[in-house]
Amino acid sequence: MLVLVGAVFSALAKITIRRLVQVEKTAAIVFYFSVTSTTLSLASLPFGWVMPNPAQAAMLVCAGLLGGLGQILLTSSYRWADASVVAPFEYASILFALGIGYFVFSEVQSGAMLAGAALVVLAGVLIIWRERRLGLERAKGKGAGTF
């Protein structure tokens, strides 16, 4: 259930970013995204938050900095490239997460989780393929009346 909720929020965030890049600067979008994410994350504070030790705190800071850089680059990519070009890289992140989990953290994924990840990636690829095909058909339609 949480995965479904996360997927819905992720899709809403992507749609919002695609629209915002037309009227806002990248820095403003990333700033408000970060503030919103931090504020919503604080809602989990009463449910078992534990003070991290210095090594964990350093890793969290590094993850935050790298995540912020990734968000800046992703937001910029929506400004300069078509969404059908950017989307495959987002779905590749699922594969990277699986690989990192397996090789770095020795996580063994369950069959159900792998099937779900495959379903999400396949659905994304089909949507990208369909949108690209529709875009090519629209481009042909526009050029049909010109000489």
Give the phi and the psi of residue 47 in degrees, each rounded to 5: -105, 45
Distance CA 25, CA 32 (A): 11
Rounded to an integer, what is the distance from CA 114 to the centroid of its chain?
A: 18
pLDDT at 143: 58
Does residue 64 share a domain with residue 131? no
Tens digit of pLDDT for each residue in 41-50?
Answer: 888 888 888 8
DSSP character for 82? -
Angle of CA points 124, 127, 89, to nearest 5°: 45
Domain membership of residue 99 as a residue range: 82-142
Q: What is the number of domains present in the chain?
A: 2
Does residue 76 share a domain with residue 96? no
pTM value is 0.61
pLDDT at 2: 55
pLDDT at 142: 67
Average pLDDT, the chain: 80
46 lies in a domain? no
Does residue 69 share a domain with residue 20? yes
Tens digit of pLDDT for each residue in 57-112?
Answer: 999 999 989 988 988 888 888 788 776 677 777 777 778 888 888 899 898 888 88
52 lies in a domain? no
Does residue 97 share a domain with residue 123? yes
Average confidence (pLDDT) over 115-131: 80
Distance CA 100, CA 61 (A): 19
